[in-house]
């Protein structure tokens, strides 16, 4: 099912046509909050209508977890809302806005099963800038929005302690490799973010991609990151070259699978290259 009512306060749309990217909605006592806006303009519009009809409320807030298009292209569907982000997120969104020429829009459409999903795409920027962390209150319900970095420098999580729910963005991928090839990816911060997730009082964890999970999956992800870091450092100390280390870690930790899409292997290898550059060559 594309649209799911997880409980009386949490609603999700999982886009099966694009890497199981997840967007969500929280019903607070007096308003609706959207977390990420996805890549399919048609479906996001339908999801907004579906949630608003179910709750009898209107969306007032959108919170993007990071700037990647599969989490932000649908922003325009929420242009009437307050859109919260840190300043660096807004800066990256302006770069995306400049990059989206007609040719690049067609390139983006080619990645989708339904190219019409991006018809009329217009980048919509945040309009509420905060520094590092902000807490929103609706009656006695608390919503924590915190920029941590990790997957990207603007990566941000959304945590509601009252509902014991955490939206991680792409700092957590479930049942797929965690893409970390962006130049601002910081795998050490990512490790610290996992530890922070584990410190929170949560029952449901909503990843950027994949099904709802719990702390056990976060623990496994943390262990994998630490194992990769250790493997890279050990191999480097033994005189192994970059290509050998990247190839070994890619095949051991994120091997190709039957359902991989064209380009997945390259993205996974790019992740290992970025982490090698960070951990071994010190390229921050």
Q: What's 12's domain CATH number?
A: 3.60.15.10
The pLDDT assigned to 158 comes to: 98
Residue 66 and residue 46 in one domain: yes
Residues 245, 141, single domain; the answer is: no
Which residue has 């702390």 as its token pair?
A: 215
- On whether residue 220 sits in a domain, the answer given is no
Q: How far apart are CA 276 and CA 283, in angstroms?
A: 9
Is residue 166 located within the same domain as residue 235? no
Local confidence band at 1 (pLDDT 50, 70, 90 cut-offs): low
Tell me, what's the pLDDT at 261? Answer: 76
For the stretch 222-233, pLDDT in tens is 999 999 999 999
Query: Range of 271's domain?
Result: 225-279
Give the count of beta carbons closer than 10 Å to the beta carbon of residue 126.
Answer: 21
Q: Does one domain contain both 160 and 240?
A: no
User: Is there a single domain that holds both residue 154 and residue 84?
Assistant: yes
- Alpha-carbon span 99 to 209, nearest angstrom: 24
Q: Do both 15 and 129 map to the same domain?
A: yes
89 and 194 assigned to the same domain: yes
Q: Model's pTM, two decimal places?
A: 0.97
Total domain count, the chain: 2
User: Among all chains, which residue has been given the structure tokens 């807030």?
Assistant: 61
Is 79 in the same domain as 120? yes
Q: Confirm whether 284 is domain-assigned.
A: no
Q: Are residues 129 and 249 in the same domain?
A: no
Rounded-to-integer distance, Cα 102 and Cα 88, Å: 25
Q: pLDDT of 129-174, one tens digit each?
A: 999 999 999 999 999 999 999 999 999 999 999 999 999 999 999 9
Q: Are residues 179 and 55 in the same domain?
A: yes
Residue 258 lies in a domain: yes
Q: Is residue 112 domain-shared with residue 229, that is, in the same domain? A: no
Q: Does 101 lie in the same domain as 57?
A: yes
CA distances from 260 to 18, 174, 176, 213, 269 (A): 12, 15, 10, 22, 13
- Give the CA angle between residues 173, 74, 144 to the nearest 5°: 60
Residue 237 resides in a domain: yes
Q: Which of 29-43, 113-127, 204-218, 247-261 is predicted with the least confidence, judged by mean pLDDT?
A: 247-261
Q: Is residue 127 part of a domain?
A: yes
Tell me: the pLDDT tens digits for 268-284? Answer: 999 999 999 999 999 98
Q: Is residue 35 part of a domain?
A: yes
């Amino acid at each position: 099912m594309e649209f799911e009512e997880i409980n009386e306060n949490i609603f999700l749309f999982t886009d099966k046509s694009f890497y199981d990217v997840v967007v969500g909605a929280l019903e607070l006592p007096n308003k609706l909050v959207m977390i990420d806006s996805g890549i399919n303009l048609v479906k996001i519009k339908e999801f907004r209508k579906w949630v608003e009809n179910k709750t009898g409320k209107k969306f007032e807030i959108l919170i993007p977890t990071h700037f990647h298009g599969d989490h932000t292209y649908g922003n325009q569907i929420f242009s009437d809302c307050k859109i919260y982000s840190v300043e660096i997120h807004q800066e990256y969104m302006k770069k995306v806005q400049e990059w989206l020429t007609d040719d690049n829009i067609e390139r983006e459409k080619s990645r989708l099963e339904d190219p019409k999903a991006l018809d009329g795409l217009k980048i919509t920027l945040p309009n509420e800038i905060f520094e590092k962390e902000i807490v929103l209150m609706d009656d006695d319900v608390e919503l924590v929005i915190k920029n941590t970095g990790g997957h990207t420098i603007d990566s941000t999580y959304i945590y509601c302690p009252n509902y014991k729910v955490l939206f991680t963005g792409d700092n957590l991928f479930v049942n797929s490799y965690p893409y970390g090839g962006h130049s601002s990816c910081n795998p050490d911060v990512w490790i610290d973010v996992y530890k922070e997730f584990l410190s929170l009082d949560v029952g449901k964890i909503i990843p950027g991609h994949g099904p709802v999970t719990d702390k056990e999956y976060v623990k496994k992800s943390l262990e994998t990151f630490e194992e990769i870091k250790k493997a890279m450092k050990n191999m480097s100390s033994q005189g192994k070259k970059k290509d050998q280390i990247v190839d070994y870690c890619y095949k051991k930790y994120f091997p190709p699978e039957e359902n991989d899409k064209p380009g997945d292997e390259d993205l996974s290898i790019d992740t290992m290259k970025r982490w090698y550059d960070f951990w071994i060559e010190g390229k921050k």
